[in-house]
């Protein structure tokens, strides 16, 4: 059964939180697909993951770089899983109809954007209607995560 985690951003921008979540997943030996809603956001995240933390090195790629099977993190706007990822991360209200093919699905949303919050609430309701484990994580003052709800 797929574990679905909702990650509510309140302190840091997406690219900072995403880097930390990706580092944690890849350190655990997991491959990840990050799905975003547009080519512009994909390009932004692709660049930001190289520059957001000068001390960090997170190998990743997209269709632009190619070789998905060699990429531990794959950035995309489509529904494919070309790097055989176990983890799916959805950003910028990107959606998935194939989340159940992953071990985990992380829905990251910006708590300062009411449209994103409303969309996340609706997706939570939709996931609640199917057989999956749901958790809700809220960002802490220090930028970490605290589990608030589990269903």
Treating both helix axes as pointing N-terminal to C-terminal, what angle do 14-27 and 39-51 enclose, rounded to 10 degrees? 70
Q: What is the CATH number of the domain that holds 80?
A: 3.40.50.10110
CB count within 10 Å of CB 77 equals: 16
If one counts the domains in the chain, the total is 1
Of the chain, the percentage scoring pLDDT greater than 70 comes to: 100
Q: Which of 91-104 are b and which e, b meaning 16 or more Cβ less than 10 Å from the residue's Cβ?
A: bbbbebeebeebeb
Residue 65 banded pLDDT, cuts 50, 70, 90: very high
What domain range is 37 assigned to? 3-150
The residue written with tokens 């209200």 in the block is 93
pLDDT at 132 over 90: no
pLDDT tens-place string over residues 82-126: 999 999 999 999 998 899 999 999 999 999 999 999 999 999 999
Both structure tokens of 14: 């997406």
pLDDT at 1 over 90: no
Q: Name residue 7's beta-bridge partners.
A: 108, 137
pLDDT tens-place string over residues 37-61: 999 999 999 999 999 998 889 999 9
């Amino acid at each position: 059964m797929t574990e679905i985690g909702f990650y509510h951003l309140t302190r840091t921008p997406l690219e900072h939180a995403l880097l930390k979540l990706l580092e944690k997943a890849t350190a655990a030996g997991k491959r990840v697909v990050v799905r975003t809603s547009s080519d512009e956001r994909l390009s932004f995240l692709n660049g930001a993951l190289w520059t957001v933390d000068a001390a960090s090195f997170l190998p990743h790629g997209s269709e632009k770089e190619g070789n998905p099977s060699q990429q531990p993190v794959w950035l995309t706007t489509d529904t494919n899983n070309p790097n055989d990822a176990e983890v799916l991360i959805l950003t910028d209200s990107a959606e998935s109809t194939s989340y159940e093919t992953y071990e985990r699905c992380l829905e990251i949303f910006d708590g300062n954007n009411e449209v994103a919050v409303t969309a996340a609430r609706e997706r939570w309701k939709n996931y609640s209607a199917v057989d999956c484990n749901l958790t809700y994580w809220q960002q802490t003052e220090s930028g970490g995560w605290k589990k608030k709800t589990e269903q």
